[in-house]
Chains A and B, each alone.
Chain A
């Protein structure tokens, strides 16, 4: 009877132990696939782990791995979905904070500016994360950076000692950028001047040339009392070219700014060594 009892206890322990071993092996397998950049398979195996892990012991790790794999595969919505699941199954404050930050990082990449702001504010209000305020500031800076608000980003990064490089980059971008309203204003006063300001010289000369020519034809028609001709050339041609010159100046400034922004983001993605979304 004693042996039977012992044997029964042994069976129970062995079963539990083997199940444990099985889940551990499954997690290691999913992780290996992730390291080998086989993200699709890593997701399948992590999902299998999450499904068979009835005690939810691996819930956080599995969901985190699935989310990371989705992020690496560029499926950001799915990544957020699984990070949220990981957040729900987090075991301690650190795990909870890290998943919240991961979700914020993805939302920064998705350019969801207001949502990120709201999420950061919510974490800031939470007393449990009072010690993590500099980390929150750091991601706020990145949020401004992706929102094309380099001035604010520089201001936020300026408050964090470790983010001096980012602050300098933001200030440099701010200096390099063209003022859209100034470009347009220049072209209002002198057609083509806005294009010169944005270094588009050929377009600037063409704009100036067309406007001078059509302006001359319009004035000439009016001074020769050919009112109808003057109105036709003035409204149908000169006004069109004048308006075109204004929108051209605006377009060039916007395009150049976009180029500066994309080049900087590209540079940060490839060369910046610190934490990034």
Chain B
């Protein structure tokens, strides 16, 4: 009889185990796999795995992880949507802080909405720093280090001060002034926009054709003289328009240079966001 029961048990046992055949897709295993993909920086697949679990087993931690995946993929719109869903969850402070980071990365202000509140002191300080950084990037406030109060530590104050000074020292070049200068003296507008090579070339070329026109008029070679006059005029009009564009390009380049400098500074500081809230990998 015992042998009989034993054989029955032996027969049934694999039948209980076999349904677990597809167990690579259980919630726990999928979560472990998604975490592995996240750490492998395969964020798209990781987000898909988290989403698949979230559909069955909706929870805030997964929504937060999905948001992080999109943030790491620089898909800020989607990341914001996920973090926004967590506004009343236990991840609300982390989400708010990361939404501020996204606002900085997208060069967006908070569009008049009230500044987010934080209970966690570290997050509060980080959010104040980030808000200040967003304002600097938008050029809303000028140097006012006093208003930073205790937000920044001494090193950061020095860095911020340098960035402020660079921005203040920079003076925009007026495209109209550049065009006017070039109309008066060929190439002067380009020299005004610090485009020295082009300025000198414009001066020499326009001057040379003007001289050739003058020389030919004097020698009564009227046809050739008019050709050189036309060429000189053509070069000068091009030079005036070129000076206008040169001033505009100068402003854009300088602005981009300052923004890049500030962005790389912020990036080196991880945007003042504690690294631990952005997902940790061993």
Binding site for B on A (CB under 8 A): 3, 6-7, 10-11, 14-15, 18, 21-22, 25-26, 43-44, 47-48, 51-52, 226, 228-229, 232
CB-nearest residue of chain A to B25: A48
Closest A residue by C-beta to B18: A18
Please classify the interface of chain B as helix (H, G, I), strand (E, B), loop, or mixed, using the class held by over half of its residues: helix
Q: Give A48 to B45 CA distance when docked, in angstroms.
A: 11
Task: Check A10 against B13 for contact (C-beta < 8 Å).
Answer: yes
Given contacts A47-B45, A229-B224, are A52 and B29 in contact (CB under 8 A)? Answer: yes
Q: Are B10 and A18 in contact (CB under 8 A)?
A: no
Sample of 10 A–B contacts (CB below 8 Å): A3-B2, A21-B21, A22-B23, A22-B24, A44-B45, A229-B212, A229-B216, A229-B224, A232-B208, A232-B212
Interface string of B174-217 (1 = CB under 8 A from A): 00000000000000000000000000000000001000100110
- Counting from the closest, the 4 A-B pairs by CB-CB distance are A3-B6, A51-B36, A51-B33, A44-B45
With A26-B24, A43-B45 already in contact, 10 other A-B pairs whose C-beta atoms are closer than 8 Å: A3-B6, A7-B6, A7-B10, A10-B10, A18-B14, A18-B21, A47-B33, A47-B40, A226-B219, A228-B212
Given B14, B23, B36, which contacts A14 in the complex, CB threshold below 8 Å?
B14
| In contact, B6 and A48 (Cβ under 8 angstroms) | no
User: Whole-angstrom distance between the alpha carbons of A7 and B6 in the complex?
Assistant: 8
Q: Which residues of B contact A52 (CB under 8 A)?
A: 24, 29, 33
**B9 lies within 8 A of A7 (CB):** yes
Selected contact of B24 from candidates A7, A15, A48, A232, CB within 8 Å: A48
A-B contact count (CB 8 A): 48
What is the minimal beta-carbon distance from A230 to any residue of chain B, in angstroms? 12
> Do B21 and A25 have beta carbons less than 8 Å apart?
yes
Tell me the smallest distance from the CB of A40 to a CB of chain B, in Å: 9
Q: Shortest CB–CB separation between residue A11 and chain B, in angstroms?
A: 7
Residue B60 lies at the interface, judged by CB distance under 8 Å to chain A: no
The smallest beta-carbon distance between A132 and chain B, in angstroms, is 33
A15 to B14, CA, bound (A): 9
On chain A, the residues within 8 Å of B40 by CB distance are 47
B2, B24, B215 pick with most chain A CB within 10 angstroms: B24
Q: Give A229 to B2 CA distance when docked, in angstroms.
A: 121
Using Cβ atoms and an 8 Å threshold, which residues of chain B touch A3? 2, 6
Residue of A nearest to B2 (CB): A3
Q: Does B42 contact A (CB under 8 A)?
A: yes
B17 within 8 A of A: yes
Beta-carbon contact of A14 and B13 below 8 Å? yes
Option from A21, A48, A228 in Cβ contact (under 8 Å) with B215: A228
For B208, list chain A residues within 8 Å (CB): 232
Q: Would A48 and B13 count as touching, CB distance under 8 A?
A: no
Q: Which of B1-51 contact A (CB under 8 A)?
A: 2, 6, 9-10, 13-14, 17-18, 20-21, 23-24, 29, 32-33, 36-37, 40, 42, 45, 48
Question: By the criterion CB–CB under 8 Å, are B13 and A18 in contact?
Answer: no
What separation, in Å, do the CA atoms of A51 and B40 have in the docked complex? 11
Q: Say how far B22's CB is from chain A's closest CB, in angstroms.
A: 8
A228–B40 CA distance with the chains assembled, in angstroms: 71
CA distance A18 to B20 in the complex (A): 9
* Closest residue of A by beta carbon distance from B211: A228
- Residues of A near B45 (CB, < 8 A) are 43-44, 47
Contact for B21 among A6, A22, A228, CB less than 8 A: A22
> Shortest Cβ distance from A234 into chain B, in angstroms?
13
CA distance A22 to B25 in the complex (A): 11
Which chain B residues border A47 with CB–CB below 8 Å? 33, 37, 40, 42, 45
A18 to B32, CA, bound (A): 20
* A22-B33 Cα distance, complex, nearest whole Å: 16
| Chain B min CB distance to A48 (Å) | 6
Report Cα–Cα, A48/B216, bound state, in Å. 83
How far is B13's CA from A10's CA once the two chains are assembled, in angstroms?
9
A14 lies within 8 A of B17 (CB): yes
